[in-house]
């Protein structure tokens, strides 16, 4: 059974080290605001907010506005889908390599 390939936005979002650090912080200690995250990172609050929007667009975080604050929480489903896709892809390559090995015996 083929596993659907993750959305390109997930790969793009995870390609940046700052976004991975933000996602890690939100998943470990969330919900967090852009201001709280910026206090921990060597980038401005505006940069953190832009990174959070990319993560949100990829489905990796969700936002909840309460008054003037927007808090972000991690959404694990895209990462589960990515892990399942990577595992299935690895199994297909393992199967191909095993077939090649059997041809050389």
Segment 2-13 shows an average pLDDT of: 82
**Residues found in the chain:** 105
**95 lies in some domain:** yes
pLDDT at position 97: 86
* Gap between the Cα atoms of 76 and 63, Å rounded: 14
What are the tokens at 80? 């589960």
Whole-structure pTM over 0.85, yes or no?
no
Q: Which domain, by its residues, includes 28?
A: 8-104
**74 lies in some domain:** yes
**83 lies in some domain:** yes
Residue 68: phi, psi to the nearest 5?
A: -90, -10
**77 lies in some domain:** yes
pLDDT at position 96: 83
**66 lies in some domain:** yes
pLDDT at position 38: 96
pLDDT at position 59: 96
| Residue 98 banded pLDDT, cuts 50, 70, 90 | confident
pLDDT digits (tens, 9 = 90+) for 26-67: 999 989 999 999 999 999 999 999 999 999 999 999 999 989
Look at the chain and report how many structural domains it folds into. 1
Burial of 66 (0-12, 13-18, 19+ CB in 10 A): exposed
Burial of 20 (0-12, 13-18, 19+ CB in 10 A): middle
| Residue 3 banded pLDDT, cuts 50, 70, 90 | low
**2 lies in some domain:** no
Beta-carbon contacts of residue 89 (< 8 Å; ≥ 6 apart): 3
**58 lies in some domain:** yes
* Gap between the Cα atoms of 3 and 45, Å rounded: 37
CATH of the domain at 39: 1.10.10.10
């Amino acid at each position: 059974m083929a596993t659907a390939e993750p959305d390109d936005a997930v790969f793009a979002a995870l390609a940046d080290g700052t976004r991975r650090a933000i996602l890690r912080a939100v998943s470990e200690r969330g919900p967090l605001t852009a201001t709280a995250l910026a206090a921990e990172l060597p980038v401005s609050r505006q940069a953190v907010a832009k990174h959070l929007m990319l993560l949100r667009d990829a489905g990796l975080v969700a936002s909840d506005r309460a008054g003037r604050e927007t808090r972000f929480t991690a959404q694990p489903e895209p990462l589960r889908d990515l892990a399942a896709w990577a595992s299935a892809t690895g199994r297909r390559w393992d199967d191909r390599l095993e077939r090649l090995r059997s041809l050389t015996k």
